[in-house]
Amino acid sequence: MFEAGCLMFIYVETPLHPGSGRGLGAVDLPIQRERTTDYPMVQASSLKGCLRAEARGKMASHVLEAIFGPGPETERASDHAGALAVGDARVLLFPVRSLAGVFAWTTSVDALARFLREAQIAGVQVGWSLPEQPAPETALVTSTALQAGDSVVLEDLSFTPDGRQADGVRAIGHWLAQNALPQGPEYEYWRRVLPEKLCILPEDVFRDLVKYATEVQTHIRLDPKTKTVEEGALWTSENLPTDTLLYAPLLASPSRTPKATLTAKDVLREVEQLGLVRVQLGGDETTGQGIVALRFMNGAK
């Protein structure tokens, strides 16, 4: 059984493509999504592989194997399981262009409730409670920063701003700014404006935005001789936009090998001491895609 836990926050700094293979819809290369909600996600295997790749060369090999397991590339993959369990990364804040304030960080009561559930599993306590579900065609906001006249206009959708729960929404924004966003001085501005740009939408609207308001990039392949597009070499890929905030639980148990005796808390401490401020995640690495900032928050477990 897991004896320690923490949350890993993932802040998208350049468009992120956690690919799901070739799609059958309008986008050739869609991103990974939850089956029941269509919310974007990053599967746990991708996250664990990224963490393992970053740890390789920074950890002693016996510690690496104790935490992540021997690995499928060795003949000892079945010797023992790793002590670290990595959960799927789920969306918490999704940036949407706004007629006022440039963009809003959107979320929903449903997405926040999912976050509270995963935080509880990881042993992380938060200092806020869920707001009430916003009425249809309304948006919970904290100030007039996102208001264009009497409305909040996101993409091509118009909402009536509702400030009756402003204190509760602001508490969520302040907590996320202080605990989820990266700590570096380059993020001081973003930590300051997050509570003012936070917008809680009806769950169906949020679902539609994370489904249809992602970034779609068009790619081509040129003929090296003629410098024209090769026939059939035009495709599109879907990406999570810059400024998306995701989270994933990390759960640990004591190590299962005598080569490295680690408690569950030791396992998480070793991962945090890697000093992973920024990593590359997902596809299109050589075009600068998928650069994300990480932040860890320990649980009480």
C-alpha closest to that of 248 among 177, 175, 171, 180:
180
Q: How many CB atoms lie within 10 A of CB 216?
A: 15
CA–CA separation, 110 and 37 (whole Å): 10
What would the two tokens of residue 140 be?
């919970």
Place of tokens 């945090």: 272
Place of tokens 């810059």: 242
Q: pTM, whole model, 2 decimals?
A: 0.92
CA–CA separation, 184 and 193 (whole Å): 15
Place of tokens 């090296």: 224
Phi and psi at 19, nearest 5°, equal: -70, 150
pLDDT score at 220? 79
Question: What does the domain layout of the chain look like in residue ranges?
Answer: 1-18+44-87+250-301, 92-213
pLDDT score at 91? 98
pLDDT string in tens for the chain (301-residue length): 788 999 999 999 999 999 876 766 678 789 999 999 999 999 999 999 999 999 998 888 888 888 998 866 666 656 678 889 999 999 999 999 999 999 999 999 999 999 999 999 999 999 899 999 999 999 999 999 999 999 999 999 999 999 899 999 999 999 999 999 999 899 999 999 999 999 999 999 999 999 999 999 888 788 777 777 777 678 888 999 999 999 999 999 998 877 778 899 999 999 999 999 999 998 888 888 999 999 999 876 5
C-alpha closest to that of 238 among 9, 25, 11, 10:
25
pLDDT score at 258? 76
CA–CA separation, 105 and 94 (whole Å): 5
